[in-house]
Each structure stands twice: as structure tokens, then as C-alpha cells.
Structure 1
């Protein structure tokens, strides 16, 4: 199914880009952060706000960033703080930044560096904030290690509390922090999804599944995660039954790159891929009974769920998507050419019974 495009476009990014994040802690407006990916030019972070009328995307802040941005996350308890993972071309680094007060000028401003996560010796992949509010812990992952930090942004201190290697058989590429359990995190690699207990820094569970590129927890239902594979597929899993997915979706025509559960409507999933599209899915997880091994064994028992809408107003791969936590009927997408589009899904919400 494909609906008419009603998206609001922001074209202010002048370089290629992969990373966009919802500013969860912004209590006054719907806003997003987007970061550019240019090896030769000085990169930028754009603070993008949806106007009060809901008809325009405006730049609320433009900031210099010294290196190309590969990962970006907004602090969930302070709208002026965010993290980046970036590369100079030779090495990767992870930093926590503070947005300065705006003086009303249109020129780019300098960011204040609060913290640098300097304990990594391998290529850093991502920084994870505890998603549900204020927390003094932070997670960073490189190709081979998971690190848990104690952070104090006000005093600009960060200390490694514990770390663990994932082993020589796997190379980490990303992960997600369980919004239902601050002691649980999922880490993805080329051939497995690993669930870690942060209290012991030991693996609590794993899903053997090839070529996983992204993972996200269902914020409304415990034990439910969604993963995407680079060769197209989307799988919904119950971590209590890790051998077989409880739902399978066809994904994208090329690589399915990223996936996100809606923060409010538990049955809605958004995905994006290198086929230059974004897709909205209805999974009907809430309408299923608790899974049983017998029900999961048979592939014919898993029906392909409907595609609610396909958004294809892009000329390049879409690597970044972000739901608005303040208004869960809106999402922002970012294509590699720097095009940001905000769309509404109100017409696709499940009917109330």
C-alpha cells in the first residue's frame, strides 16, 4: 500500500548524512538532531524543530562538529546534551556534547565537549543512553567490547564501571538498551543477537541469526524485540523463545538497514533501507496469545503482516529514522543525501474497539 506524500521536508543539511535522533527531553516542541558525514569538510549538527503550526521544519541551532558522524543519540533527560560516535578517517571516538545557548545568529556555533569516552581500543560503534529517564550510566560498544560507564555531565567525569569482551568469534555493530530493565541490553553482531546482564556483564541469552543490522525493543511489551537483516527481512522475537521469530516481514527490496518500534502504539514498526524507502508495518503482536513452542515450530503458522504504507519520496538510501516521543504519530527520516522528512501516521492508527 502506498499513500500520497504529505511529508514536511527540511533541506538544510549540505553534506551526506546517516544519523537522526529524537530530542526526547524537549518538553516544549517536537525536535530532532541530525548529523552529517563528510570526510573532507567540517561537519555539522542541526537542531531541527517542527513549527507550532505543524507545517514547517525550522533550524533551531546549527553547530560545528569536528569529524564525520556515524552515531548520534540525544540525552533522554537533558535536551541540551547528546552523544556522537565519529571518525577522523583513521580512528573512531565517542563524545558527549552540550548545546550552547542560542544567540539568534544563523552562523554555526561551537559545541561544548562535556565528556570523551576514551577507554576503547577498537572501532567504536555506538553509545546507548538508558531510554526511560535520568540515569548515571552509559553504554558504549566497540567491535569487540561492551563498556558500562558511570557518568556525571555536570562535573564532566566518566569512569568505566565494568567491561566485557564479546569474544573473538563476533564483531559488534550496535545494540539497544531494554526500556523495561536497566540491567539488560541487546548487542548485535554479524551472526548473533546477544542479551547481556549488566550486573554480571555476562550473556543471558542469544539469538543465532545471520547478518543482523539493527535491533529495537518494544517499549510497551517486555521480552519483545525486532531485528532487521541486510538482505531484506524483518523479524519480531520473543526473547523467552529465541529459536524462531514470532513474526516475519518481507522488509525492503535491498538492504533493510534500520527498524524502530513506535513509542506509544505497540503494534506499529517503522523500517528504512537502501532501496530509498521507508515502510510502516502493523504487526498485531498485542493480539497474539503468549507464544508456545508448538506454535512457533511451523513456518506456516506465521502470517506475513500487512504493510500499512510505503514512503518513497527519496533519491538516496535511508539510513536514519526516529519517532517523536512527544508526538508518537510523527516520525522523521533522513536519506543519505541529507534530506529530512517528517511524516504523520494518524490515518494508519489502529481503530479503537
Structure 2
């Protein structure tokens, strides 16, 4: 179905592709986003949904030295986040801290806690342990997976272990399993590889081409969602990884990003290069539990999994983020720097 958008907008000055929920901010629904400008001074914006829920407020605006290709908020400290950036010649990654009294300063400067500078290859992303306080970080470049120990108070990050994905694989990102601190998935052009961080060895893989993005279902063990260029969205049960347990059509062009809802185990958000964000309801057959709801899903009646489609964008949408504080709210970011925050509460009440 086509969703009539009632979204709240916010504009960045430059192009952008990264947005992150500030999970550690339990008092407000807030997001961090960063720009991707080759020639201008890049910016990190801390934006917050007003208490009335009807406008987006810029809480903080900070200059960032280079164009931002990946941004992730620390799950246990709302002032700390990571970026992957390009200097034009090379890629780097750093951990940053927002100054404590940033609201009272004229031009608040980000404090660089430390750099993740062990990489030789092109860095693709930084993964924080999904929830709670943990000193471990993962960074992924095209060839290698690094496990770091981060000490913010001493402003140091040390490599605990590292492992190459192998010559045949060109890594492009990954996800940390929220149900297992020792399990991480890394995506390459042709496979999704599963790693045990204790041994830094591969434990399994899904042979699948052109995967752009992956996300673990935070409410259900063993369930993983992948976004694929032309073939849409696939839901996998990692106990039987040969074939997906459900396929969703995805987008008219490339499906670029997927995000599972923090609370509703069947709700999936996706974004694509067709300038659209789609909201999906996965089938209840992907649930282990036998619920009364599944009895209502008649096998003869095909239920359209597309709950809503949001198309008030003029450019490709690369960034999406659910709010963990208000899990019926999500933010999306199109390449032209437009942030839109939507609520799906009305749609959920109909289900």
C-alpha cells in the first residue's frame, strides 16, 4: 500500500548517507547524522524529536574533518559515537565524544577519543556491541575483521585480534549478533560469513550474491535479514541457512538497507535507491511460537507484506534507523541530506 506521509522533516546542508539512533539517550528520541561533502567542511548533527513529537530540533552541530561514510552511536554513552571517513586519498575510523556543555559553547568541537588506525585496507564500518556497556568494538575493512578493546577514559583502543576474510572476498559491512556476543556476520560480494570472535574463525556462511546490508532480529534468535541489490529482502533462519524462510520484494531499484524493529519481531524497514522507504510485516511463520495470530493467517489468503511505502524523497535513501526509545518511530535519510521522521503507530494498531 502507499503510505500518505505525515513525516517531520529536517534538512542537512550537504549530501549525507549515515544516520544512527542515539540508543543511550533514554530521555529523548534522538538521532545522529553526518554529511558527505567532498569540498565543504563536514558536519555531525545531533537531532531530537520535540516533546510534542511534531518537530525535529538541532540539539548540536559539530564540524567533522572529513566526509562521513559510516556513523554509529555508542549504546551506553549518548555523547560517544564512531565514524568511518574518507580524506580523499585514504579511509580512516575514529571514536568521538561530544563535549559535555556543548549547548553553552559557541562553536563546540568534537573530541577525538582515539583512532582505529590498524587498517591497511579501505574501512567499511564500525560495529558496537548492540546493547549495554561493553569495551569491545569491531571494525571491518575490505579484507580484514578487527576486534578492539576500547578504553574511553584512557582514550585508547587496542587490537585484541584480527583475521583476514580470504583473498576471494571483498568485505563491505557486517552486523553483531545481539543474542551472542561472540558471533558476528560479515558481508562480501558473494557470501555472508559468520565468525566466532573467540577463535576468529568462520563458523558458517550463506552463499548469496550482491548483499548490501544485513540486520539481526533483536527479538528472535537465529533470524537474520538481508538486503540484496535486485532481488529484494530475504529472511534467514541461521539453523538452516541454505534457503531463506521468506522473501520480500524489496524496492523498484536496489534495496540498500534493512533494519529490524527493536520490539516488534515481524516489523522490517527497508530503504532503496528508488527514493523510497518501505515498511514490511514478515509472515508469522518466521516465528517459532505458535500464536493465535498465525491461526488467522489463512494459507489460501496471501497477505500483502508491504504495510506502507514512504516516497517523499527526491534522492536515494541510504540511511534508516528505528528509535529504540520509541520503537514505533523511525528516521530516514536521503542522499540530498533530507531527514524524515515517521511514526508507524497507527499502522500497528490496525494489525
CA offsets 1:102-149 (integer angstroms, 9 cap, x no match):
454696421000010010000000000001110010000000000000
Could you tell me which residue of structure 2 aligns to residue 295 of structure 1?
Answer: none
SS at match of 2:172: strand
Contact kept? 1:61, 1:102, Cα under 8 Å? no
SS at match of 1:109: coil
CA offsets 1:40-88 (integer angstroms, 9 cap, x no match):
1110000000001110100000000000000000000000000000001
**1:262 matches 2:261:** yes
Contact kept? 1:172, 1:189, Cα under 8 Å? yes
CA shift at 1:285, angstroms?
Answer: 3.9
CA shift at 1:228, angstroms?
Answer: 0.8
CA shift at 1:304, angstroms?
Answer: 7.7
Distance (whole Å) between structure 2 residues aligned to residue 86 and residue 218 of structure 1:
28
Q: CA 1:28/1:47 → structure 2, altered by over 3 Å: closer, same or farther?
A: same
Distance (whole Å) between structure 1 residues aligned to residue 349 and residue 169 of structure 2:
40
CA offsets 1:214-268 (integer angstroms, 9 cap, x no match):
0000000000000011124100000111110000011000010000000000000
**1:2 matches 2:2:** yes
TM-score of the aligned structures, taking structure 1 as reference length: 0.93
SS at match of 2:253: coil
Q: Report which stretch shifted further, 54-63 or 107-116.
A: 107-116
SS at match of 1:348: helix
Could you tell me which residue of structure 1 aligns to residue 19 of structure 2?
Answer: 20
CA offsets 1:197-226 (integer angstroms, 9 cap, x no match):
000000111000000000000000000000
SS at match of 2:6: coil
Q: CA 1:161/1:255 → structure 2, altered by over 3 Å: closer, same or farther?
A: same
CA shift at 1:28, angstroms?
Answer: 1.1
Contact kept? 1:226, 1:235, Cα under 8 Å? yes
Show structure 2 runs of 5+ residues with no match.
Answer: 290-298
Distance (whole Å) between structure 2 residues aligned to residue 274 and residue 107 of structure 1:
38
Q: CA 1:349/1:69 → structure 2, altered by over 3 Å: closer, same or farther?
A: same
Could you tell me which residue of structure 1 aligns to residue 323 of structure 2?
Answer: 324
SS at match of 2:346: helix
Could you tell me which residue of structure 1 aligns to residue 55 of structure 2?
Answer: 56
Could you tell me which residue of structure 2 aligns to residue 100 of structure 1?
Answer: 99
Contact kept? 1:69, 1:87, Cα under 8 Å? yes
Distance (whole Å) between structure 1 residues aligned to residue 320 and residue 96 of structure 2:
21
Contact kept? 2:266, 2:283, Cα under 8 Å? yes
Q: Report which stretch shifted further, 220-229 or 279-288.
A: 279-288
Q: CA 1:190/1:55 → structure 2, altered by over 3 Å: closer, same or farther?
A: same
Distance (whole Å) between structure 2 residues aligned to residue 102 and residue 172 of structure 1:
39
Contact kept? 2:212, 2:227, Cα under 8 Å? yes
After superposition, residues 80-229 of structure 1 pair within 5 angstroms as 80-104=79-103, 108-229=107-228
TM-score of the aligned structures, taking structure 2 as reference length: 0.94
Cα RMSD for the two superposed structures: 1.9
Could you tell me which residue of structure 2 aligns to residue 239 of structure 1?
Answer: 238
Return structure 1 stretches of 4+ with deviation > 6 angstroms. none
CA offsets 1:258-316 (integer angstroms, 9 cap, x no match):
000000000000000000000000002466458xxxxxxxxx99x78510000000000
Distance (whole Å) between structure 2 residues aligned to residue 136 and residue 285 of structure 1:
36
Distance (whole Å) between structure 1 residues aligned to residue 107 and residue 310 of structure 2:
32
Contact kept? 1:283, 1:305, Cα under 8 Å? no
SS at match of 2:341: strand
Q: CA 1:304/1:275 → structure 2, altered by over 3 Å: closer, same or farther?
A: farther
